[in-house]
Amino acid sequence: MVFALALAAGIWWWIGQSKMGYTFHAVICQPIVMALPFGIIAGDVGTAMKIGANVEMVYLGMVAAGANIPADECLAGCISIPIALLTGMDPAAAVTLAVPFGLLGVFQDQIRRTLQAVFAHKADAYAEQGNVKGIERCAVAYPLALGFLLRFPIVFAAIYLGADVVEKLLDVIPEWLTHGLSVTGSTLPALGFAITIFIIGKNIYLPFFIIGFFAVQYLGISTMAAAIFGTCIALLITFLRREQMAK
Amino acid sequence: MENTVEKKMNSKEQVLLTKKDINKSFYRWYFDAEVSNCYERQQGVAFCYSMIPCLKKLYTDKGELSGALLRHLNFFNSQGTWSTPIHGITLSMEEERASEGEITDGAITGIKTGLMGPLAGIGDTIDWGTLKTIIYGIAVTFGITGNVLGAIIPFAFMLITFFIGKNLWALGYKIGKESVKNILQAGWIKELISATSILGLFMMGALSASYVTLTTALKFKIAGTEIILQDILDSIAPGILPLLVVFGIYYILKNKSQKYGRISLGIVLICILGAFIGLF
């Protein structure tokens, strides 16, 4: 099972962060989505889903706008879910494992995007010759091959060799550090939400953020309820404004 | 009338793109948009890759084909689903260029670079800011109880964005370069953005309250009675610390720096250090 999980996770990170399919990859890169196949391999779908959902929470609002990504939720999930399944770690504790890997994954993306300039220059040369097949290789085959080398070995080795190490490590690392990492896990989602507010970029609508925030704090409504109320508020304001304009 | 007849006689035999060509181009874009991304050109190589099936059909002369390929290897960066009217327009312009030869390279590149910014802004707000976060947020509420639906629901995001992208691509080709500026000015797109912005911000508030938790462990002893700081904060309003953190980061993003990597590293360091000294 260790081998199968290591293989699956290695392939998952390779395929996921190769970003095939503009929004398809944005789905399969989510810890909560990969939890299902990992859970099937490990024979415990329920626990896997719980771990996946806990890790997913950290990355909920993260948006990769422009050239830089705030964290690599795909690597975070590919490492933390299999290892948590193998070591029987508590779903909430898996977050402490996910956080550092989520940060490490950012470097991989930077290396990838730096190196791939080489393929762009190669594509220029092929275009000069009118070589269509060559450009197609630069657009698909070369990036995929590079991605395999950059991604697969790391995750495969980390899980195949690392599960034992992690278990021993968790026994020896001091209490304050595990506590610190779990504090990080529950604070880091703030970055994602802040990025989204920044991207939406409409300061005059900020009171809606406050309404949403305290609707949950005081009334304890669920995400689904928030989506329903939020949609109605947004529609009401749009329609009322339209009515005002028609006058 | 006479003029157009004359023009048609002068021009080369006109090759028209079929619906199949247009769709094939879109599938290529959807598949490759981020695969070949590099800092220097961003989505440039993918843009060229998506144009290939149509360019091959339009330009049979090798020199012309080579020129067209080079034209589309240039820098391009936008949001993948909402930028697709650009690709559609580009195809219609290339089609016209191949037959009439009156459209310059500059005109095509100008449309691309001029529209990629505004459309990225729309796409980031609607797709990444609102749709994605709401759908994944709902998925988490299922996943947390061990429900498999948590892994299935996110695919709704993929289906919706694929549908939007495919239709905007075809729309761009149909309406051509003239009308896209009108679309950006049109009332409905402004209404859509303002409505999704309101919904997006409301949801960010709700999700922040659900998923950002931070409490302080600080205690004071004043005149023999122990005062727990968190209790005082809670008596003012629940969730003050998470709210401050979100707005604090937002302030940094808006006024100081948008280096996400550095900011998240900073958060990690502060949290671990805070745990070490007993602040959290």
Low-confidence ranges of chain B (pLDDT < 50): 1-10
Distance from CA of B4 to the nearest CA of A (A): 33
Nearest-angstrom CA–CA distance, A119 and A122: 5
Could you report the predicted ipTM of this complex, rounded to two decimals?
Answer: 0.89
E strand map for chain B? 219-222, 225-228
Task: Give the pLDDT score at B188.
Answer: 78
Q: What pairs with residue A179 in β-bridges? A: none
Which chain B residues touch A69 with a CB distance below 8 Å? 260
**Other residues' Cβ atoms within 10 Å of the Cβ of residue A238:** 17
CB B240 within 8 A of CB A149: no
The answer to whether A119 contacts B36, with C-beta atoms less than 8 Å apart, is yes
Which helix (H) or strand (E) segment is B81 a member of? none
CB contact burial B231-254 (16+ within 10 A = b; e otherwise): eebeeeebbebbbebbbebbebbe
Condensed to tens digits (0 to 9), the pLDDT of residues A178-199 reads 888 889 888 989 998 998 899 8
Nearest-angstrom CA–CA distance, A191 and B100: 52
Task: Give the pLDDT score at B220.
Answer: 83
Which chain B residues touch A134 with a CB distance below 8 Å? none
Which chain B residues touch A241 with a CB distance below 8 Å? 191, 194
Task: Give the pLDDT score at B4.
Answer: 45
Condensed to tens digits (0 to 9), the pLDDT of residues B137-174 reads 999 999 999 999 999 999 999 999 999 999 999 999 98
The pTM for the full model equals 0.87
pLDDT in tens, chain A (247 residues): 899 999 999 999 999 999 999 999 999 999 999 999 999 999 999 999 999 999 999 998 887 765 577 889 999 999 999 999 998 888 888 888 898 899 889 889 889 989 999 999 999 999 999 999 999 999 999 999 999 999 999 999 999 988 788 778 777 888 888 888 889 888 989 998 998 899 888 899 999 999 999 999 999 999 999 999 999 999 999 999 988 888 7
The answer to whether A211 contacts B208, with C-beta atoms less than 8 Å apart, is no
The answer to whether B209 contacts A213, with C-beta atoms less than 8 Å apart, is yes
